[in-house]
Amino acid sequence: IFLHGGGYQFLAILHMVSVVFTLIYIPFGKFFHIVQRPAAVGMQLFKYTGRKDDEVFACRRCEEPIDTGPYVENLRGTMRDLRLDFDSWAEYCPRCKRVLRGSAYLSHVKKGFK
């Protein structure tokens, strides 16, 4: 009203920059749950529909149930698509993964201190 269009270009650019910085900040801020929560609900629904078939995937080492078979296969497929070379680790429970990583570490490192 009082500027009569003066400084419009500066205010427009300032607005664009503030919008871009806000969009970049969202994944690191507290509002990320707006995006994350529907994805988490979708994964729970995916697991629930897979459990109807009673197809539970067991750990390769301790035979404890991990999750549904389709979920583990989907995870392995995603890891292959991302070219991660450890997709077979999806077939182990978290406890067995820790044990296997620890034993692999100990086999490459000398035991004890000098």
**Range list of H helices, the chain:** 8-25, 33-51, 69-81, 94-108
pLDDT digits (tens, 9 = 90+) for 3-47: 787 888 999 999 999 999 988 887 777 777 777 788 888 877 777
For the chain, how many structural domains are there in total?
2
66 and 26: one domain? no
Domain that holds residue 68: 54-114
Q: Which amino acid is at 52?
A: K
9 and 36: one domain? yes
Residue in this structure with the two tokens 């300032």, named with its chain if needed: 14
- Final residue of a structural domain among 52, 71, 89: 52
Taking a C-beta distance cutoff of 8 angstroms, is the pair 69, 55 a contact?
yes
pTM of the model: 0.51
25 and 63: one domain? no
Taking a C-beta distance cutoff of 8 angstroms, is the pair 53, 67 a contact?
no
Among candidate residues 39, 92, 56, 114, the one with its CA nearest the CA of residue 104: 92
77 and 104: one domain? yes
114 and 72: one domain? yes
